[in-house]
Structures are given as C-alpha cells and as structure tokens.
Amino acid sequence: MKRKLRSLKKLEGRIRFAHFPKDKSREYVWDQYFSTKAVHDLTVKYPILDLIKLNRQELKEVFEDFFYSVYFQLYRDMGLNFDEIQDPTVLSYFGLAPGASVDDIKKRFRELAKKHHPDHGGSDEKMIEILEAYNRLLNK
C-alpha cells in the first residue's frame, strides 16, 4: 500500500508540476489525502491504516476522489474556471462525492438547512457555514 501511495504522489507531481515548477506556494494535494505513517494520522483524509481495511471498490472510489481533487487544483493553478467542476473540499463538507450534480447539491442543502436552521433548534453559526458553502458551490 505504501508503494501505491508513493506512486500516486509521484504521478500528481508529473500531472501538476510538469508545466509549473514546484514552489512553496503549491502544495501537493496528496498531503491532504494520504499518510504513510504507521500511526493513525488524523490530519489527512485517508490514513494508511484505514486504507488497508478497504476493499477494491472502496479504494477505487478513494483514488477517484483524489484524482478529481488533483485535476481541480491543476485547473485552478492554470487559472481556468470550469462551471461544471465543483470544489471537492466544499462537496465533502456537504457529504457529496466529486462530480455531484446541482440537484444533488440543492437536495443536500435543503436537508442540512432543515436540520440546522435556528427555528428548528440549530445554531446561527452552523446555518451561516452551510449557506456560505452552498453559495461557494453554486455561485463560485
């Protein structure tokens, strides 16, 4: 598994930094997703100890999520703006997979709004967070 994760980092380097030299302002997306440490690392989305427990299909979904984020960051680095590409970090805040449709986003927003609205016992701060994330996804 460590070998696979290291090869993913090298592949990200070839994808993102082939045309742009690596500098300190551009961090690897890999560093947010994976860790090869033997301890349970809570600073990353998928620690190696969790990855080892996944079956083949679940690993495929994790790697798809990772590559979606890599290409999203590449397009952002290049200054390109595609309306159909959503920010994967905001999608994960809503609990949605990369590539979620606008209808999926609206449906999930409504569910979260019903749950966290101050009139229904939720907090103002949480509702504001949800609204800001929703606006980032739909208004960019």
- In terms of Cβ atoms closer than 10 Å to its own Cβ (0-12, 13-18, 19+), residue 62 is middle
Going 118 to 123 to 128 to 131, the CA torsion angle's sign is negative
Average pLDDT, the chain: 83
pLDDT digits (tens, 9 = 90+) for 83-94: 556 777 788 788
pTM: 0.64
Q: What is the pLDDT of residues 3-57, one digit of tens each?
A: 999 999 999 988 888 876 666 567 899 998 998 887 777 888 888 888 999 999 9
Identify the H or E element spanning 66.
Answer: helix 56-78
Q: How confident is the model at residue 100 (pLDDT cuts 50, 70, 90)?
A: confident
Domain count across the chain: 2
Q: Does residue 99 share a domain with residue 72?
A: no
Q: Tell me, what's the pLDDT at 140?
A: 53
pLDDT of residue 11: 92
pLDDT on residue 53? 92
The whole domain housing 27 covers 2-78
CATH number of the domain enclosing 121: 1.10.287.110
Helix 124-139 × helix 102-116 angle, to 10°: 170
Residue 105 domain flag: yes
